[in-house]
Amino acid sequence: MKPFLLNLLACALLYCAQAAIAATTYRCSSNSFQDTPCLNYSHSKPLKSAAKTVTNPEPTKAPAPYVVDADCKQRGDAAKKIMWQRQVGKTKEQQLEATQDTPTHALISEVYNQRGTVVEVRNNVELACMQQKEKDKLAAQLLLAANKLKRHDNSTAATPEPTATGKANKN
């Protein structure tokens, strides 16, 4: 009788442990499920989990939606095509020989330096593109502000302030 009760207790504990491990699942598309919210957040639908989730007294802010402009989207699509070629067996050298322009060479090298699925590499390329655009935008703003300061300094240096001897001559 004791082994039966021990087996029953062990089964009950394992059953409860599985429910405790379960977490919220997000449905990103008709055939895609994951444990984190989807990148575009518009299609992310949380599904009910078997376990009760721990309520956080301070709700955390959701990160900003993942927005990609047209240029970065096009770069991501090109990276996806490069990854497809990589999956069918084309080497980096073969793809570099097939193209002539430098930006495509840089993209091929970037894609071959990353690991992951086609979607992960595409998302990483798009994200890197958006980050570079943000850096370029900030650099342009800094350059504009520096030019304004430089013009302001030159204009104040061009008009000297009257000195005490200049005031005495006018009087």
pLDDT in tens, the chain (171 residues): 688 888 888 878 777 666 556 567 777 766 777 767 776 655 556 666 544 555 555 555 555 566 788 899 999 999 999 999 999 999 999 999 998 889 899 999 999 999 899 999 999 999 999 999 999 999 999 999 999 898 888 777 665 555 555 555 554
* Count of other CB atoms within 10 angstroms of residue 82: 24
Is residue 147 assigned to a domain? yes
Same domain for 96 and 26: no
**Could you tell me the residue range of the domain that residue 33 belongs to?**
13-47
Task: State the pLDDT at residue 79.
Answer: 93
Same domain for 138 and 83: yes
Same domain for 131 and 84: yes
Backbone angles phi, psi at 25, to 5 degrees: -115, 140
Same domain for 34 and 74: no
Same domain for 120 and 84: yes
Same domain for 76 and 20: no
Is residue 92 assigned to a domain? yes
Task: Look at the chain and report how many structural domains it folds into.
Answer: 2
Same domain for 33 and 99: no
Same domain for 40 and 75: no
Same domain for 142 and 105: yes
- The pTM for the full model equals 0.51
Same domain for 91 and 40: no
Backbone angles phi, psi at 46, to 5 degrees: -70, 140
Q: How far is the CA of 79 from the CAs of 35, 66, 86, 87, in angstroms?
A: 25, 18, 10, 12
Same domain for 146 and 74: yes
